[in-house]
Each structure stands twice: as C-alpha cells, then as structure tokens.
Structure 1
C-alpha cells in the first residue's frame, strides 16, 4: 500500500471517527431529552368533599371559597359516642368533623361485572377508584374499552384501609374468599388493570400523605422510560372506621374545631378528609401529535426522604428545599418563572413554619415582597385527604391554570406569628385573584408523607400553540356537515335516561356560549365513550335543536331525528348492501356530499378521471354541470356510469365509517357496483365495463318499452306464451318481426314483474293482461333493457368483457341471473353477457338474503327498500336508505347511520370524522353509574339511599330504577343468587345460609321502603 493510500485511509478513518462521535453525542442528547420530556395531563377524574364529583364542580368549590367540612356522617361512626374534646381520653376522638363525600356505601357493581357477594367485601376505595378512573379516561376523550391490551400503566397512592376494620369486626367466621383481594392495597391498582385489561406497569404506592404525588412521579418516570404509553395515576382515601382517627387524636395531629387553618396563628392541626383523584398522562410530544386536549404539562418531578430528624413524623426543612430544587432542575425550570406553589399546608403549628421557610429559601433569590410567590393550600377547603392529598392539590393547580385564576386560602384571619413573613418572598391569597404573569404560568405542588417521603411536581399551563391549533379547521376548505349525529348509551335503560338528562343540563349551561361546538361535542361523545346495549342516536343541526330533541325524548315523545333501542349484544347484526338500478338517477344526486365530504369527493373525482377515457362527456359535467338537465342524465350512456359513480362513492363512505356488508346485491346496473365492492374486478375494470355497457345500449335503435306488471311470474309467462302463439295471426306482416320478442326483464316481487320488448308487441301483451284484470304501468326508459332488443350489442360487449381481469370475490354477492349466491361463473365474461339479456331475479335474490338483519340501500333514491320488503315476510329486516331526493343528504345519511348504531352495528367514529381537521375533544358529562348499597355490616333494616346523588336529577328515573332493581332481585336472587349462596355458603344451625338470605330480604325491604317514599312524595 502506498503512502498516499495510507494517508487517504487514515483521513477516512478520522472522518468516520468524528462522524461516529457526533452521532453518539446526538444519540445521548436524544436520550437526555426523552428522560426530561414533559408529560401532558390529558384527563381528570375526581370525587372530593363538598359535592365536588367532577372537575367543574371542584373548580366551583374552589372559586367560591367553599368550606366542605361537615360533622361526621352517622353512617361512618357514631360521633356522639366517640367525641371527647380531650385528645388524651382513651378510645375517643377530639373532633366531630371531617371532609366527606356522599354515597361511599354505594357502587355500580353490575357495570364492573362484580357480584353482590364480592362487592360486599370490596374496599370502597377500590370501588371509587374504578369509577373515577373510568371518568378520568372519559374526560380524556377516550373510549376506555379501546385501552384493552394496551401498555397503559396504573399508579395508585393509597395508605390506609379502614373498611378492613369493619370486615374484621364482624367476626372471623364472616371472612370469605373475597376479603383479601377486596382489601389489600395492591389490588387497588391491580383491579383497575384487570378490569380495563391494561398490561403496562401497575402498583400501589404507600408513602403516607405523599402517596398520590409519589405515584404521579413514578408514572412520569415510567412514561419517560417508555415502560408505558399512557399512565393512570392518582390516589384515594376513605374514612369509614374510627380507629385511625382515634390514633391521630392521641398523637394530637387533629384540629379540634375541624379546620385546617394553614398559615394562620390559630393553626392547631389538620382535619381528615376523603376522596379520590385520577389523572391521565401521556408524553407531551405524543399528546400534541394525537391532538389531545392538553389540560396542563408536568415539567419536572422529584422525590426524596427526610432521613433522620428529631422525630419520625417531624418534617425536615432542608429535605423539602432539596426536593423542590430537584424537581425544578429535572424539569429545566428557572425558579424565577414559578409564580404559584400549592403547599402541603396541613395547618399544624410545627409543619407550617418549616414548609413556608423551605419555600422562602428556594425562591428568595428570584422573588420578593414586590414580586411575591403565591402560596395556597387546598386542605383549607376539603381537609387532609392523606393518600389522595397530593393529587387533590395537583388537580386544583391544573384547574387554576385553565381558568387563569388563583383560589383563596380559607380560615386565614391572622398570620402565624412564628413565621417571619416580612422576610419571605411569598403572598397568601385570601380571595379569588387573577393569575397574572409576564410569561408562561408555572406552579409547584408539594406533598410530604409523615414517615418522611417528600414529593414535588412542577406544572406548566398547556402550550399556547396547542390551544390555537385546536381551533383550526380543514386545510382543504371543506364545508362542515349540515347535520351532526350524537350517540349516547348505557348498560341499563335508567343509565341512558340519566345520561340524557346530564346532556340536557350540559347544553343548557352552554346556551350562551359564544362558539357553537356541536361538531366537537358529537365527536367526543361518539369517539370518546364506550358504547353499551341501550342506545340513543340524535341528529341535529345546532346545539339548541339537539337540546330540544333530547327534552322531547325525555318526555317520552316520538321525535323525528332520534333513534333508540336495545342491542342484545349476542351477535353483531348482519348487513346487506343493496345497490340501486337504473331509474333512481336525478340531477345533482350526491352533490351536497360532494361539496362537504372529502372522501366522497375524492372517490367521485377518482372515478371521473378514470371514466374520461371511456366517455365523450365528463361525468362531473353530467352530474353537477351548470347546464345539466334531466334529459342528459336520462341517456343511458350517462345514466349507467353516473349511478355507478355515486353508488361506489356512497359505499366507500359507508365503509370508511366502519359499516361493512356481510353480503352485496345489486339490481341490474347496481350489480356492477356490487361486483366491484365484492372484489370480482378492479374499480378501473368496473368503470370500463359499465361505460361500455351504457354506450353500446345508447347506440341501439330506440323503440322499446318496459312495463311494470302487478302479477306473478307464472301469470306473466303464461300470458307471454299465449300471445306468442296468437301474435303472428293477429297482426299484419308489416309490423316488424313476427317473432314475439317480449321478455320478462325483472321479477321484483311475488306480484311484481317487469316486461320489456318492442312497443307494438308489448302493447299486444298488455291487452291480454289487462283483460284479465291485471294492473300495469309503463316505465320511463330509453330502451327495452333485458330483452331481445339488447342482442345486437352483445358481441361487442363480450369482446370488452373478455379484457377484464376477474377474481373470486371477498364478499358474498347475490346474482341477478340465478337469484342465489353467485358461484365461480360470476367471474367470467359469459356471465356478464348473459346478465345483459337475462331477467333480474330480484325477488329470489331477496329470498337469498332472508337471514340478513339490516338492508342498506346504496343509491341516490330508495327504490329497492319497498320492493325488498314485499319479497320477505312482514317484520323481517330493517330497511335503510342512503339518500332521498328532496331531503338534506346529511340528514338522511346520519338518520340511517343512527339506526345502524342503535341496532348494534359497530361504527368507526374516528373514521367518521377523520376528514374534518380541527375536531377536538371537549369535556362532556361522564357515565351515570347506577349505584346500589353494598356494606359489610348491613345487618339492620336501615333504608339505604340507593339512588341519592348530589344532583338528584329525576324522580322518574328513580322510579324506573327501583322497579328494575326489584325485578332483578325477584327474577335473579330468588333463583340464581340463592342457589349460589346455598352451594357456597356456610350453613347456620338449621342448615340455612342465614346471613346471605337476610341480605336479599333486606334488599327487598329497602326497595319497598323506597316505593313508599316515592308514593308519599307524590
């Protein structure tokens, strides 16, 4: 090797090394970005004290400065028996108060496929987690059932289980097989993954009061490490047994007057609270790419531990400073850009000064009295939610970011004198205030566990660009639909009716909204919800019309534009596509869809381009030209390809919405579209063949006629045979051929036949038919189709048909020629030559489709539906058109789509809206769970509040639900449930499963009590 070569190789190696080093550096940078990628919050669910059962209601509580603390409800423990102002009194609690949510004894077990027996043993924390998680996913705008099998993670903060105390207190003999999974904390997370079939990371976190914020930290880390693609994170806490409250009272942690007076001079401990909060998390880049509704962004998180301090439960200021700094560093956030901190803020004389001192130290160089850091604490509103405290504070901050307001801190009358406020760069808000900032709003949330684990999360408002982008519309300037379709469903009829009420209320609250958002409302409801068996579909052109129709439906009125029904769910209904034949055409058919539906337009344009090689006039000019009239469209050279194009475009549109046929059948010309859809040939070949067919028929001499005859096929054939024998003797030789060239062109029903042939000979046949009292009607056609008059074109047509590439279809197709399911002969030129000449056996074809459940006519005018009904027994099938002359095309299409939906057809709702850019998810009412009471110590005949909710929306719904419950217990418990009890339960001394039988009897008595209540109310 020469020196020059060596130098060349050395230089090449040097360049390669530099390139490799550069790529390695870029790779490391990408890895670093992944580790620090912001996390988007895309969904929230919550159940907090004060009736804050939705994010909207929680914000109303915060904005209005509501104190949600109440006396301990009687269904938790007897506060009179257990209260003593002296915290040292054995077995007593020094406070009468707490933050409570309604209906913790109640749960929709049926919704989550849990038996009453298992539910009785199920910790209400697990119950509420299931419901709130479902609501959070719905708030995200995602159908929860679409998460099945996905790599979604579940991260739950939970630090106590008071229900277990109730279970154990019933006696060891009452412990059953469900107690373990029903009460162990790990199952709180595992049950969510199991129920939703999620296969990502899943675990429960217990770091005491910081549990839920630590869970969120771990969820963010899991997302950044690509362990999951979506995370469900949050926490739960419920107060159902007094033992832990007694313990906290003895430790003198509780506020005797039941208020967390954070930063106040009179701060004397915290008040316990219960609730649940869940958030849905995604990597920001993916949330933006998926056009999700981003509520806020998590920039950075951190956790640490106090280590050794003056006591296990004593907070440690330096550790709190460190965790805040680490979270800011992890998120790449300058402390100077932070404008709000949601403090842990328990309201203790020891904890408050330590925490506010730590905050002041971290932000002392970037903030001042003139430019203060605002510090608040949600515990002053709802109490200390312990395992759910962190997520409650985080959700509060997200809502503040969304509304650009800061909620007041309650119970602040005099600042804590042990805090040196004059030297701290902080301000405490005592009333609602605008969140003013010179840049992006950024906040921190702290949560500290009393065993020393600290957590901090740095939040940022949703990107401005994302909010602007979501307002954009289609870049192709496609006009919006004239009508929209809203679908609602429930697992029970009562749930559906309550959901309708929720939407009525939602729309009423939007009545003064500046922006009409019916498109986004329908998009979110259709694509972002699970679809159950009790279904409703509503068509409307605006929100006001939608609200009015829902109101009429709720009153039990028949409403145009509303479809409702119950789908059995046993098997998907079978659908037949019926493609219309000649005679359905009219000027501007499909024009509204062409101008407002991108896929329809694209398909029509595609066909028009392909047809340009076979037609002397552009098909778009025939369909939508300014000078087009009926006479042009009546020319069969244009009629046939025009119908083909419209029907093919309609079919592709239906298929894009997920509506796929189980079988196809076309009437005459319609069979060419059916064959294309079935895969007998390509679109190119189908268009070539139909254009050739129309052109050749147009070139035939005029003079033929077609007549509809109200008689059976056998009657008509007898008449033709009779006339054929006598015709030559009764007419002069000058009348054309003496051969009686009249044929049956179509058998459209048991008493509906079409004849076709030369005018004079048809006239002769009609005299015979009418003499026998048979009704007839001449059809407006250009030629006598399916008659001997077509024979002159057959040779040339066959030559073109032989050029076609045929295949065996992928969808069953019913043959016009045989009247049955097509065999392999349909994929031959001979079949299609015979098809021109042979009668259309529509009646037999419909018999072949007798097993279909739904018949959808794919054509511009519903001609086949009426004919088809007459071919089958009454009550067979549901008959739906695509278009109807004189009716808004979207109104008709959506009416049929709504009917398909309520009949159980699975609709691709993303496909339904994918052509309309700018669709975005909006916050809508969530599922109305139909709860019943399940409680472990239910041994008294107390009257439960099975149906009570904070918004008691309809007594009518209550009545129907109670009746449904009674029927379920009468029909179910008396047989199946009791049988299961007898088999599985331990017997009492008399051989009877006493406890379970009592529970069933109790349920019956409870239901009867409610009947009486409602009767008295009337």
Structure 2
C-alpha cells in the first residue's frame, strides 16, 4: 500500500495521524493561489472554498526517474504525476522489484478526476503547439502511464463513478483476480485541486462545510472539507502471496458494487442502494454481519448523507439479525473528502487498523446527529484509539463503504491476514551454501546521484530509529525487494554501527574504504576470469575464507581429495597456514596450493553470480583456467599440476628468471648476444617482459641492460621455466600426463601459448608440456580481449599480481574495461571478496547478492520508499531542464565527480589525495590533517605501505573524485602525495597550448618504460 496527504508522506505518517486523532485541514496556500491565477477570494463562499486539506505545492515531479522529458512533464496533469509516484511506492511496499512485473498480465485501475490543470494551461496559452497537451490532460492516461511504467499488460483504465470511483476500481480488480483473469492488480485513487473555485458547485449544493471541518455523524454536521492526496494498493491472489512469503496487510474477503437506480432523486443518497452493496459484499465474503467489527463509513458529514448511511446500515442490521453494536468512523474527519480517491483512502485506513490491531478515534465527534434516532443503540463512534484484539477462530474484519453522488455504491470487506509461514527456501544446495560471513553488504541504487545520497540518508534514519532491525535483515531486504538503477553504492560492514557510518558517508557524498560507489551506464561485455602463475601466494592465504565461506571450503576439500593420490602433504593445512605444514618455498607445494586456491575462488565467484564467458591463464594458471572452464575435470587438472610441479624440482639450481622493464623487441634484440642460453619467458605488457635461462647469462644481461638504463630484477625461483631447460623433463611430463581426457568447453579458453582462442579438446599432455616450455603471451591475449567493448576482468587469485599489467593495457583504450581482484595479502577474508563483488555491481555487472544471505535467510523488513528528486514543472517546462538524451544537457567535467570537493586550488587537491590515501591505508589519526599533512605528503607511497594493487586503487579513487583520467602507474611516476597532487591540479587547470615535443622527449604519462622502471625500482614487483 501507499498513500500521501498534506503533511503525510507515507503509511507510517498516516498511521501516526490516525492514532493521534489529528487532522490535515487548513487553508489553501497563497503561493498555489498565485500559481493557479485563482479568483476564489472574490467568491461569496470564499471562506468555505479556502478551507480544506491542501498540499503546500503540487508542481514538483521527478521527471528523470519517470524518464519523461521536461515538456512532457510540464504538460502532465499533476494527478498523473501523483498517481505514478504512489503506484511505485505501493509496489515497493509490497517488496517486489518492479522489473519482475514486466510483461505480466496485471490490471491497473485508478479512480481519479481532472484537477483543473488542463483548463489552466488552456487559459494561459501553455497548451498551444504542445505535442504533449492531449496526453497530459487525459484522465485515462493515469492508469495507462502506470501500466507503461511497470510494463504490465492487463486491463488498464481510469474509472469514474464519482466519489466511489477508487473503491469501485478495487472491487473490479478483485473480481478479475477471483475469476482467474489475472493474479495481481494495482488499484488506487488520486485527487488534486488546482483552483479551489472549482468547488463552487459543491458549495451551491450545500455539500461543503462552511467552517472547513467534517463533523461526521455529529450534531454539527454541515458538509465536508475537500482534500488532496491519494492511495494505492497492490492486490494479489492470496494463495500466491502466502506461498511467496509476501508482506500481507490484509485480505480482501468480499466486495459488492451496485447502483441505487431511481430509488432516490440524484444527488440524494439512497439508503436501500447502500444496504444492497453491503449485503452483496457479505454474500461474496461468506460471512455474517455479526462477524464484522468495524465499518469505515463513507461518512461525508452532510445533512442528508449521514442519516441516509445510518439508515442503510440499519437495514443491513434488520436483514442479517446483527446482535451487537457496530463501531463506525470516517477518515474524512482526518484528511477531508478526496472525492474519487475517498474510497481507497478509507480502505487503506481500515487495512492499517486490521493489520495493527487498533481502532482509532473519529475526529470531531461529540454528540450524535439528532436526525438519527437512538444512534447509540446500534453504533459506537470512538473518541480515543483502543486495541482491537482478534478472538480465537474469528479474525478481525472491517467493512469499507464509498458512495458516488450519482448513485454508484461500493462496499468491501477486509479480514486479518493469516499468520505468516516460514519463508520458502526454494534454493538448491549449492546456492544455499554460498553465504559468506564476516561482512555484510547494504546495496543502494537510484536514478541520480542526489537521489542516491537521499536514499542513504533515509535508510540511515530508518535503521537508527529502530534498534530491532538486524543488519542482515536490512541487507537482504535491500537486495531482494528493491529495483536496481544506474547510480549505485554498496556499504560494507561487520555490524550496524559500521554500516550506519557508511550510510552517513554516502549521504554526505563522501567515500571510504568500506563504501563502493559507481554508475552502471554502459553495456557489460564478457566476463573474463584471469588466473596468474606463481607469485600470488602468501602464508595463510585461505585461512579466513575457509572459515567464512561454505562454498570455498567445500571446493578446497574437493581439491584436497583430487590431489591426495599425488602429494604427501595436507592442502588444507597449507592454505590455512596451519602448523606444521609443508612449506610454500617448495615448488611442488606452492603450485598445487595456488591451483586449488584459484579453482576454489572461481567457484565462490560463480556462487555469487559472476560466471566467466572466457578464461585466461598465465603459465601454470592455465591449468586452473582449463579446470574452471570445464575443459579438464578436477582429477585430471590436479594430476597435471601435482606431477608437473614435482618434475620442476629436477631443474632446481640450473637456471632462473628475470623481469625486464622494456619492450619485447628491445629484449629479443639483446638476447642475441646469448644464443641458446636465454629466451623470452613471458610478455606481460607493452614494456613488461620476463626472460629465462642460465644463471650466468642472466647476470650478464642485467649488467648490460643497466648500462642502457633498463632495470632488471631477478624473480625468486631457482629454475628456468619457459626456456631450453624444460626440455630436460619433456619425456617425464608427457608420461605423467598421458591418459588425461580434455573436453569441449562452453567457456572460451584463450591460450597464452598460442595467443588465440583454442579448442579445449586439444589440451592433452603435449599442450601442458608446451605450456611450460613456450613463451607466455599473456599481454597479447589480454590486449586482444580488451578490445571487446564492456569487458570485465576478474583476477582470481590470493593476491593481485597481474593487475598493473592489465591496467596498463586498459589505459590505452578509450573506454577501459572493469578490472577487479579477489583476495589481498592484507585481507584474505570475505570482506575483500564482497568489496570486489561490489565494484563489479556498481559498474553494472549482474551479481547474486542474495547468495550472501543464503545461509540463514533473514526475514525481509520494510524499507524507505524511493527518494524522488522533484523539480518544478508548471504550465511550461523550466528553461534549465534537460532530459538525459538532450544534446544540450551539461556533460561531466573535471572535478565534477560524485561528491567531489572544491578542487580549485593545489592545497585542496593535496587534501583530496591525502584523504584517499588515508582511506586505503585505514588511517584515521590526525597526522593526515593540519600541520601533520605536509610531513605525510612528502613520504613516498611505498614507505607509507602501498603495494601495486593499492596504488591502482588510489588511481581509481582519484579518477572518480577529480574527474580526470590518470594512468595505472601514476603513483609510481609521482611517488608522493605532494607531487601527485601537483600533477592532478595541473590537469584541472586550463591548459595552454603545448610546444612541439623535441626528439627523444617523453612525458611521464606517455612513458610506460619510465613507469615500469619506477615500479620495479621501488620494489612493487
């Protein structure tokens, strides 16, 4: 359900108003009178017309959310706008993501009447030559716009039976559901009053209260006060709602609709017609009138209306033999008469009373209307709220009446909802085990950055105000009951306090290490899993995750079982860092352990909804890639990695490997000095090469390279993979891998041996020898894959070792792909995995957040509805309004990223750099501010504790905050906060034309060589 009235924004506010017995009636706002050019003040009944329940303004609308252009929004009658918002909020209150309704047979029926906006546009000339004028003024389009909003295909129209329109709409949809035409329906009503002078006709009839208050059933009854607002409900077949574990406010047990015909003269009310509608509803509901505890009356407080309604109810008394008094009331005493929307407003009030087990006071009741004889014999009007307990075998029931001036009567009977059963667990075993513990995500999204911030503020306020809300309940509700939009944020935390602090930051437009923000504005391409070779290992690399993730632990156990025939050590002990355990210094331990980590991490990624379309492996990482793709079964892959790594021990002490920061062509030209002794082992990027061969030749190469200003670093291995040394163990490898059975795989396998897409049926023993002997063409393969638009690259390893190489390849592209890692030696737990999952999610990659909550399936709870960002649209479109596809819309500019601070000076940029660096380091002390800032700003990032992956993360955060593009290695080229801030500020300043570059000159940004020299020199790799 949803509702809105002056000063009442939602169901919670409405319930407080009812419980406290308050009224929203006041005077028509002066600004609105000016907007409507109204002359009502000169009307003889000006005081009567002025009084009512009126919104302060009705000109606001979030056109961007509803994807309407400015001209269309301005032409749209405000009742259409209000109907769209309330329908959306009703669906959100139901806990149903809007996208799941698309394409379904769902009815939309709305009771409404023109607000007078169309007439005002005609009088002002705003509708002339307006393409949208006809659409904006049509009453039928209220329902049609809602059907379009949700892309639902059922019956869609606006009903008009006068003051009973919205309750007739609801009854009609209930009939359609009961008949099996549809399973769900949206019903509601809205009412707005552009010009109060439009009520002059009602005043002439004597229907309006001279003092602006509604005294229903009271001796002072003299008419009603007009009201604005509306309400919507989402109806669903009861058995389906129960089966789906939906939040059910109440059950619609029965309904009746009929006309009074010629029993009375229009517009006089017809007691017989009203009684007939009630009796029809009782018959439909198959309950007696004695089973109904409360009736929400039409209750206009008019001189004829109240006595007629009581007479109709007494006729039902006589017909059914009711034996007890009936409690009655009217919401019109609280919010005025909403005319076409009156019935649905009474319905929502009654449903709240049924749900919350309370009856509320009827405002303005003192003494019964003297025209009603013996009122208290049959009826009770409450002057204070009181509990409404249910009785065994007899649920709470309420009736709701609405009567049209033309004689169309409607009555609906509501019943207490059945007790909620345990939530369904329609999950297979794998999904049910996919939960990770140790961290929780709160996932937010919106259609604009301001709305995202307000969403965070609303959620923070809701959770902070209710200590009973568990963090897991909130987290699951966010991912299972809310629609997903392009502006996204994920707050990660261990408990409520951390999560609330993260919401504070998002609400303020800030950022922190445990909040991830982004915008999903482009199509997402293929997901590529990247598996590195040796080098990502660290002691205890799987300890946390083995305890936190059932999926990961199960996969490790399966790998241990597959390795058992080939190893004499415990895989679980090695990956968890148990003592004593086999040493990771042994090649025949580290390679099988890394293989098992990568395979198990890939399984965890799959359980979280991230499934690879392509796999790439670097050196021995290809074994894990082949296993994850399905080309090799786990037993075959385990056999290959175990026996191959054991064979490598025969090469120990005979050679080695060195990393060279130079292009491949430069390296190969120099290698000609050592023919047959050195070779290129791997090409990781444009200026990142690994060579392999004899120890003495490696030392000589390094000395020669140093003379040319090229830096070389020895890799910590005592054997020479991908060189002629491997030929010594060829026969052994072929024998060890004989009999493996590679299979065709649906996942694409891009070989770093051949440099191309490979038929996985060829991954036999010969291939795995070639994998160890041949040059690794990783850089070539990754650069080729990155040319596909929208690519997503996930490094599946205990620590990111290929991230810098991939970032450098991405930097050369006009639209870089999404790159994330999995674990980090600083954090090997679920929190790091979820942070990477969040980074994918905010960039638009589909993920399975529900799997995080699969273990204990916390209950879903109510959440704040969408934070509409309304702007004024009145008569004509504002001049400064642009639609998303408007070519004149302002584009992103440097320094205009989400939540960006004022970066108009170099000290301001320095503050930003230091703040982001401190966030990544988890530093909260004051040494990063004030006088301590200068000292920290001149320390190198390496000395501060940065590694290569953190340097890339700093680049990413600064790019987002400052709105400038920076290379992956910018923190190496500008190794202190001070030098980096100066560089960023130079990019923000207006640039003078550059002088032509002389031969041999290079800029830091364009020199991959310099960047990689710095990276190696500073010990990052």
Q: Does structure 2 retain, via aligned residues, the 8 Å contact 1:599–1:915? A: no
Correspondence for 1:202: 156
Deviations 1:91-133 (A, max 9, x none): x784421222243222222332323333333222111111221
More off after superposition, 536-545 vs 460-469? 460-469
Judged with a 3 Å threshold, the aligned counterparts in structure 2 of structure 1 residues 580 and 399 are, in CA distance, closer, same or farther, namely: farther
Judged with a 3 Å threshold, the aligned counterparts in structure 2 of structure 1 residues 755 and 100 are, in CA distance, closer, same or farther, namely: same
Correspondence for 2:514: 561
SS at match of 2:189: strand
SS at match of 2:420: helix
Q: Does structure 2 retain, via aligned residues, the 8 Å contact 1:367–1:425? A: no
Correspondence for 2:657: 707
| Aligned 1:258-407 pairs, distance under 5 A | 258-359=212-313, 362=316, 372-407=325-360
Q: Tell me if 1:765 matches 2:698.
A: yes
SS at match of 1:465: coil
**Could you tell me how far 1:502 is from its partner in structure 2?**
2.6
**Could you tell me how far 1:80 is from its partner in structure 2?**
6.8
Q: CA RMSD in A?
A: 3.8
Q: Tell me if 1:54 matches 2:54.
A: no
Judged with a 3 Å threshold, the aligned counterparts in structure 2 of structure 1 residues 704 and 155 are, in CA distance, closer, same or farther, namely: farther
Q: Select the residue among 489, 508, 511 that pairs with 1:536.
A: 489
Q: Does structure 2 retain, via aligned residues, the 8 Å contact 1:574–1:854? A: yes
Correspondence for 1:816: 752
Judged with a 3 Å threshold, the aligned counterparts in structure 2 of structure 1 residues 684 and 182 are, in CA distance, closer, same or farther, namely: farther
Q: How far, CA to CA, are the matches of 2:76 and 2:381 in structure 1?
A: 41
Judged with a 3 Å threshold, the aligned counterparts in structure 2 of structure 1 residues 334 and 615 are, in CA distance, closer, same or farther, namely: farther
Q: Select the residue among 430, 433, 439 that pairs with 1:483.
A: 439
Judged with a 3 Å threshold, the aligned counterparts in structure 2 of structure 1 residues 933 and 515 are, in CA distance, closer, same or farther, namely: closer
**Could you tell me how far 1:177 is from its partner in structure 2?**
4.7
Judged with a 3 Å threshold, the aligned counterparts in structure 2 of structure 1 residues 255 and 634 are, in CA distance, closer, same or farther, namely: same
Q: Tell me if 1:505 matches 2:458.
A: no
Judged with a 3 Å threshold, the aligned counterparts in structure 2 of structure 1 residues 744 and 195 are, in CA distance, closer, same or farther, namely: same
Q: How far, CA to CA, are the matches of 2:381 and 2:108 in structure 1?
A: 35
Q: How far, CA to CA, are the matches of 2:682 and 2:854 in structure 1?
A: 40
In structure 2, list runs of 5 or more residues that go unmatched.
Answer: 891-1021
Deviations 1:395-439 (A, max 9, x none): 222323343322221011222233345664442221222223324
Q: Select the residue among 188, 206, 210 that pairs with 1:252.
A: 206
Judged with a 3 Å threshold, the aligned counterparts in structure 2 of structure 1 residues 149 and 800 are, in CA distance, closer, same or farther, namely: farther
| Aligned 1:852-931 pairs, distance under 5 A | 854-870=792-808, 873=811, 877-887=817-827, 889-910=829-850, 912-913=851-852, 915-931=854-870
Correspondence for 2:939: none
Correspondence for 1:65: 21
Q: Does structure 2 retain, via aligned residues, the 8 Å contact 1:766–1:776? A: no
Q: Tell me if 1:234 matches 2:172.
A: no
Q: Tell me if 1:118 matches 2:69.
A: no
More off after superposition, 355-364 vs 117-126? 355-364
**Could you tell me how far 1:708 is from its partner in structure 2?**
3.1
Q: Does structure 2 retain, via aligned residues, the 8 Å contact 1:216–1:234? A: yes
TM-score normalised by L of structure 1: 0.77
Q: How far, CA to CA, are the matches of 1:121 and 1:557 in structure 2?
A: 37
Deviations 1:186-208 (A, max 9, x none): 22211211233211222222221
Q: Does structure 1 retain, via aligned residues, the 8 Å contact 2:745–2:760? A: no
Judged with a 3 Å threshold, the aligned counterparts in structure 2 of structure 1 residues 219 and 968 are, in CA distance, closer, same or farther, namely: closer
Judged with a 3 Å threshold, the aligned counterparts in structure 2 of structure 1 residues 55 and 173 are, in CA distance, closer, same or farther, namely: closer
More off after superposition, 833-842 vs 845-854? 845-854
Q: Does structure 2 retain, via aligned residues, the 8 Å contact 1:711–1:750? A: no
Judged with a 3 Å threshold, the aligned counterparts in structure 2 of structure 1 residues 462 and 642 are, in CA distance, closer, same or farther, namely: farther
Aligned residues: 874
Q: Does structure 2 retain, via aligned residues, the 8 Å contact 1:93–1:249? A: no
**Could you tell me how far 1:858 is from its partner in structure 2?**
0.9
Deviations 1:439-461 (A, max 9, x none): 43332222222222222222233
In structure 1, list runs of 5 or more residues that go unmatched.
Answer: 1-43, 87-91, 726-739, 939-943, 947-961, 974-1018
SS at match of 2:227: coil
Correspondence for 1:672: 623
SS at match of 2:847: coil
Q: How far, CA to CA, are the matches of 2:659 and 2:94 in structure 1?
A: 60
Q: How far, CA to CA, are the matches of 2:407 and 2:564 in structure 1?
A: 78
Q: How far, CA to CA, are the matches of 1:873 and 1:184 in structure 2?
A: 52
Correspondence for 1:446: 401
Deviations 1:61-108 (A, max 9, x none): 22222210112234256777456566xxxxx78442122224322222
Q: Does structure 2 retain, via aligned residues, the 8 Å contact 1:806–1:828? A: yes
**Could you tell me how far 1:266 is from its partner in structure 2?**
0.9
Q: Does structure 1 retain, via aligned residues, the 8 Å contact 2:218–2:365? A: yes
Deviations 1:277-298 (A, max 9, x none): 1112222222233232223322
SS at match of 2:22: coil
SS at match of 1:174: coil
Correspondence for 1:647: 598
Judged with a 3 Å threshold, the aligned counterparts in structure 2 of structure 1 residues 719 and 111 are, in CA distance, closer, same or farther, namely: closer
| Aligned 1:542-941 pairs, distance under 5 A | 542-567=495-520, 569-572=521-524, 575-608=527-560, 619-620=571-572, 622-624=574-576, 627=579, 629=581, 631=583, 635-661=586-612, 663-682=614-633, 685-694=636-645, 697=648, 700=650, 702-704=652-654, 706-712=656-662, 713=664, 722-723=673-674, 744-750=680-686, 752-756=688-692, 761-763=694-696, 765-767=698-700, 769-770=702-703, 773=706, 779-781=715-717, 784-791=720-727, 794-795=730-731, 797-798=733-734, 803-807=739-743, 809-822=745-758, 827=763, 829-851=765-787, 854-870=792-808, 873=811, 877-887=817-827, 889-910=829-850, 912-913=851-852, 915-936=854-875
**Could you tell me how far 1:582 is from its partner in structure 2?**
2.5
Deviations 1:157-213 (A, max 9, x none): 224453333344457983755333322322221121123321122222222112111
Deviations 1:237-288 (A, max 9, x none): 1112346512211221111111121111111112111212111222222223
Judged with a 3 Å threshold, the aligned counterparts in structure 2 of structure 1 residues 334 and 95 are, in CA distance, closer, same or farther, namely: same
Q: How far, CA to CA, are the matches of 2:620 and 2:591 in structure 1?
A: 7
Q: How far, CA to CA, are the matches of 1:592 and 1:300 in structure 2?
A: 56
SS at match of 2:253: strand
Judged with a 3 Å threshold, the aligned counterparts in structure 2 of structure 1 residues 171 and 714 are, in CA distance, closer, same or farther, namely: closer
SS at match of 2:857: coil
Correspondence for 1:462: 417
Q: How far, CA to CA, are the matches of 1:654 and 1:421 in structure 2?
A: 73
Judged with a 3 Å threshold, the aligned counterparts in structure 2 of structure 1 residues 478 and 122 are, in CA distance, closer, same or farther, namely: closer
Q: How far, CA to CA, are the matches of 1:543 and 1:721 in structure 2?
A: 63
SS at match of 1:884: coil
Judged with a 3 Å threshold, the aligned counterparts in structure 2 of structure 1 residues 628 and 69 are, in CA distance, closer, same or farther, namely: farther
